[in-house]
Amino acid sequence: MHGLRLAFNYLRIGVLNEFQYRANFYIQILQTFIALGTGLIGLNLVFSQTTQLGGWSKPELLAVMGVFITMGGVIRSAIQPNMERLMEEIREGKLDFALTKPADAQLLVSVREFRFWQLVDVITGIVVMGVALSELHWVIGAWSVLGFFTAIAMGAVMIYCFWLIITTTAFWFVRVHEIANLFEGLYAAGRWPIDIYPNWLRIGLTFLVPVAFAVTVPAEALTGRLTFQTWFGALALTAVLFTLARTIWKIGLRSYSGASA
């Protein structure tokens, strides 16, 4: 309970902070629309040559794109900024300030930053999903709604764990700045359903970088493809990744030798 209140307070401060920079809101809208526009152009180019891709129709792929944009917004608003700050603080020895606070350190480093304007992406993604679903003449079913919301929540947790594990390696390697770049490149693979990739890449995008669970699985729920096995696999992997991330974080903390800034 205490943890939730703490996270909420940080969120509030983050939002207030962002409201100081309203011009960023317009820049964010422009960026989102450019990204959406190029995404749609790509999609239309593919479907000007074919009627389906790896068993997915055009509106179904539009739904994938909606999930991709929404999840990207979640990552860039809540996950990535925290992890980048953590990386920076480990490198500069400033993490002491967080460690000396009387709260769980992992919780603290995970909630300190919040980029409010990135929520434009989240909303845009939801709109895209809505358009896709209306094109699919979607009928609301309990399993697809429930499956979608749980899958997207588990996907977000998995991406968070992935980021935390990578960031934690900064305790040993210090220079991990290129990671953000690498992640963005790999995340872009989520724009297309994971089925179209060759096997080795599909395995990598499922278990190494959980893009499959973050984007494809929620989209499967929306388009009525989600099986209970996949859903349960997602649940199991979430639990494993979370435990792993927590363990590596605890071990990493012991190697932290920053002597204050």
**Given candidates 1, 142, 198, 229, which one binds another protein under the rule CB under 8 A?**
198
Q: Is the CB of 56 or the CB of 160 nearer to another protein?
A: 56
Tell me if residue 257 falls in helix, strand or coil. coil
Whether 128 and 31 have beta carbons less than 8 Å apart is answered as no
Q: Which stretch binds another protein (CB under 8 A): 49-57, 80-88, 123-131, 150-158?
A: 49-57
Residues 60-79 within binding reach of another protein (CB under 8 A): none
Cα gap 60→65, rounded to integer Å = 9
Least distance CB 103 / another protein (angstroms): 34
Question: Cβ–Cβ contacts within 10 Å for residue 224, how many?
Answer: 14
Least distance CB 98 / another protein (angstroms): 27
Closest CA to 87 of 185, 14, 13, 179: 179
Cα gap 204→215, rounded to integer Å = 14
**Given candidates 63, 95, 189, 226, which one binds another protein under the rule CB under 8 A?**
189
Least distance CB 185 / another protein (angstroms): 3
Q: Is the CB of 45 or the CB of 259 nearer to another protein?
A: 45
**Given candidates 40, 146, 182, 208, which one binds another protein under the rule CB under 8 A?**
182
Q: Is the CB of 188 or the CB of 251 nearer to another protein?
A: 188
Interaction of residue 129 with another protein, rule CB under 8 A: no
**Given candidates 18, 53, 86, 166, which one binds another protein under the rule CB under 8 A?**
53
Interaction of residue 215 with another protein, rule CB under 8 A: no
Q: Is the CB of 104 or the CB of 184 nearer to another protein?
A: 184
Tell me if residue 227 falls in helix, strand or coil. coil
Cα gap 124→106, rounded to integer Å = 31
Cβ-proximal residues to 128 (8 Å cutoff; 6+ apart), any chain: 36, 62, 63, 65, 66, 69
Interaction of residue 175 with another protein, rule CB under 8 A: yes
Q: Which stretch binds another protein (CB under 8 A): 89-97, 98-106, 161-169, 196-204?
A: 196-204
Cα gap 11→192, rounded to integer Å = 32
Rounded to 5 degrees, φ, ψ at 198 are -65, 155
Cα gap 14→34, rounded to integer Å = 26
Binding mask 6-45 for another protein (x = CB under 8 A): -----------------x---x--xx--x--xx--xx--x
Q: Is the CB of 31 or the CB of 106 nearer to another protein?
A: 31
Tell me if residue 258 falls in helix, strand or coil. coil
CA-based max dimension of the chain: 60
Tell me 192's DSSP state: S
Instruction: Give CA 130 to chain center in angstroms.
Output: 20
Interacting residue ranges for another protein, rule: CB under 8 A: 23, 27, 30-31, 34, 37-38, 41-42, 45-46, 48-50, 52-54, 175, 178-179, 181-182, 184-186, 188-189, 191-192, 196-198, 201
